[in-house]
Chain A
Amino acid sequence: MYDDFANPWTIRLKWAYLLAVVFALLMPVFYTIGISFNLHGFGARIYEFTFDWYRVVLGDTLLVISLKWTLYLAVATIAATIPMALLSAKFYKRTRRKVAFVALMLSPLFVPADIMGSSLLVFFKNLAKGFAWLGQSLGVGWFDSWFDLGFLTAVIGQIIYTHPYAFIVILITMSRYRVQQTEAARACGANAWQAFWHVEFPQIRVGVFSSCAFVTILSFNEAVRTALLKGGFDTFSNMLVAQMLNIGMSGESYAMAGIMSIVSMIVIGTVIVYTLVRAERLERRARAMAEPVMSG
């Protein structure tokens, strides 16, 4: 909190420190992006700007297919995770056992990615066997392919991974929401869904959209769980990691990393800019309309 007696240089120093930390954290990312636009790749003495590596990536059918799979995965994960996170956040506001509930919701974060991925792998393998046995016992083949490794298992893995993040983001926005407004809507004749859609959702929309963006980025960035659970398709991250492990970092790899970084930054940047612009617009409108308000 600032006060009139605070030394302005203390504040400036704090900002400088903060920016330096952020800069240091993002430096490797910008460096990678920089290399991805260099015709001569990593370690070259000459820097010649080019889009060639990106053309190669986008011209590679396997990579484009993997990009599509990643997108499908992101969309399916969003479709499942966001409503779940929303319900979890709403439940959190109602439950009296808040600490236990939050601990439960965040518990997937405390399990390392490879452990979670391999555990799910074993679980799905056994589940698939169980379903196959059930099908055999019932004399039907309908259960045979359930929980075979594939898109569904990869999505479930992603949901478990992204749900805690989406839950937290929505919960932060929801914490400012007053439940009296829902009750007021109900008192006006709205049913539970109408009260949510007309009154609550517009006020937590920013949080919901932010968590959509977040889940998209996490889906693009996640490699370990997906690698273990995906079955017969490859995601963009899987391709990138595989390429790095098998043939090392090529110009193409830098371009792939660049695509992921740029997409992430654009998504996050859009959310931030939208939020700031919206806040500014609301404030401007409030200022414009704030003629002297009569007391009483």
Chain B
Amino acid sequence: MTEPAAKAVEVVELGKNYGPVTALKSVSFSIESGRYYALLGPSGGGKTTLLRLIGGFLRPSAGRIFLHGHDVSHLPPNRRPTSMVFQNYALFPHMTVERNVAYGLKLLRVPASDIRDRVDRMLAMVGLVGYNRRMPHELSGGQQQRVQLARSLVLERDILLLDEPLASLDAKLRKDMCLELKRIQEKVGITFIHVTHNQEEALTVADRIAIIADGELVEEGSARDVYETPNKRFTAEFIGDNNVLEGTVSDVSATGATLDIGFAKIEVPAPAASISTGERAAFSIRSELLRIAGRDEDIGASWQVVPARYVEDVYLGLTVSHLVQLPDGTEVVARVMSDSGDNGRFEPGDDVAVGWPANRARLHVA
């Protein structure tokens, strides 16, 4: 029998108000020790507020924060087992790279020889050997973020908070740094909590993802679950490239529900939440699961198929997006790999059929 993993972070009904403005509404969740956890959501949704509450930079208006089982809600940042990497401007500009990384160790009164060793080891880990004497302004954006990372990791705290650490980097560097962060987290084995509004970044680094929007925890799960089987409509619209269609529940069975979308009745697997006939609902289906075919073609036995009219295709490099219009005027997107033979088969205005595996659609009640 396996022991349940210890909780590194537990947040209980945590809320934060700025006067009349509510930035975070009674959020509860927990993070297992050693996880790479991403807080993902649109800007202004409350994810940075949540991270800063965990780090002790903000005082909660309601709720409690437990780190490794200890209530730290009332403790300042320097008395919590956390360290933090900021978006930018956070290196001490009057100190060399070495002094920046050594700063926390000096505060802990670690002997000078140990400090040197640990700083060198940490700079090696983040790929900055020989940069000890450089000043922060002599480093590129990516290097500065690596120094921040080294400065946090050298303290050997249990939880590392990362507040949009890659937001100011260019796309290529961001991708490289994502992999680098993941590699480092696996190596050091501590809990990383990474705030980002970039879904690709979150999916690349995180074991688990929490979707935060409008000050609420919308959904939480493994990166794969959140991407492939989102429970909430918001998640489906925010992550990946999902088509969302609305309708009325016309029938409910043990295995699923039937959704009347006006021009067709769609079979959708039943969600965890209970639903009833006559209720308004929506379903989502990822664009890469959609297939476009001629009206007379057989797409597949267990596929849900609806008629459509071909509108256009848009080349996106790796993939091509095909836009089709359903009989009620709704436009949906089917995405296929650029080198697939399915591209270029249809002209704008052609009558087509669009289908998807019936068991892959997700029903969203709220």
Of A127-135, A165-173, A191-199, A239-247, which stretch is located at the interface?
A191-199
A35-43, A65-73, A176-184, A255-263: which lies at the interface = A176-184
Of the 9-residue stretches A15-23, A149-157, A224-232, A285-293, which lies at the interface with chain B?
A: A285-293
Chain B minimum-CB-distance residue to A184: B90
A267 at the interface (CB under 8 A from B): no
Q: When the two chains form the complex, which single residue of A180, A186, A294 contacts B77, counting CB atoms closer than 8 Å?
A: A186
Interface of chain A, main secondary structure? helix
**Contact size range, A:** 20 to 34
* Contact with B84, one of A187, A192, A198, A289 (Cβ below 8 angstroms): A187
Chain A nearest CB from B139 CB (Å) reads: 7
CB distance from A201 to the nearest CB of B (A): 10
Contact of B142 among A285, A289, A295 (CB under 8 A): A295
Q: Is the CB of B140 within 8 A of A296?
A: yes
Q: Give CA–CA (A111, B93) in the complex, Å.
A: 40
B155 contact set on A, CB distance < 8 A: 188-189
Known interface pairs A187-B83, A198-B103; A296-B90 also in contact (CB < 8 Å): no
Given that A189-B107, A289-B133, A289-B134 are contacting pairs, would A296 and B176 also be in contact in the complex, using a CB cutoff of 8 Å? yes
B107-A188 in contact (CB<8A): yes
Q: Min CB distance, A176 to chain B, in Å?
A: 10
Contact A189:B78 (CB < 8 A) given known A178-B89, A289-B134: yes
Complex CA distance for A92 and B57, rounded to whole angstroms: 19
In the assembled complex, which residues on chain A have CB atoms less than 8 Å from the CB atom of B133? 289
**A293/B140 in contact, CB under 8 A:** yes
Which residues from A are CB-within-8-Å of B108?
A: 189
Q: In the complex, A198→B151 CA distance in Å? A: 15
Which residues of chain B are within 8 angstroms of A186 by Cβ–Cβ distance?
56-57, 76-78
Given A186-B78, A286-B138, A295-B140, 11 other A-B contacts at CB below 8 A?
Answer: A178-B89, A180-B90, A181-B92, A183-B77, A184-B84, A188-B152, A190-B78, A198-B103, A286-B135, A293-B140, A295-B173
Closest 4 pairs between A and B when the two form their complex, measured CB to CB: A188-B104, A187-B84, A186-B77, A178-B89
B residues neighboring A (CB under 8 Å): 55-57, 76-78, 82-84, 86-94, 103-104, 107-108, 133-135, 137-140, 142-143, 148, 151-152, 155, 161, 173, 176
27 contacts between A and B (CB under 8 A): A180-B86, A180-B87, A181-B89, A181-B90, A181-B91, A183-B77, A183-B84, A184-B84, A185-B103, A187-B55, A187-B78, A187-B152, A188-B78, A188-B103, A188-B104, A188-B151, A188-B152, A188-B155, A190-B103, A191-B76, A192-B76, A198-B92, A198-B103, A199-B92, A290-B138, A293-B138, A293-B139
Using CB atoms and an 8 Å cutoff, list the residues of chain A in contact with chain B. 178, 180-181, 183-192, 194, 198-199, 202-203, 285-286, 289-290, 293-296
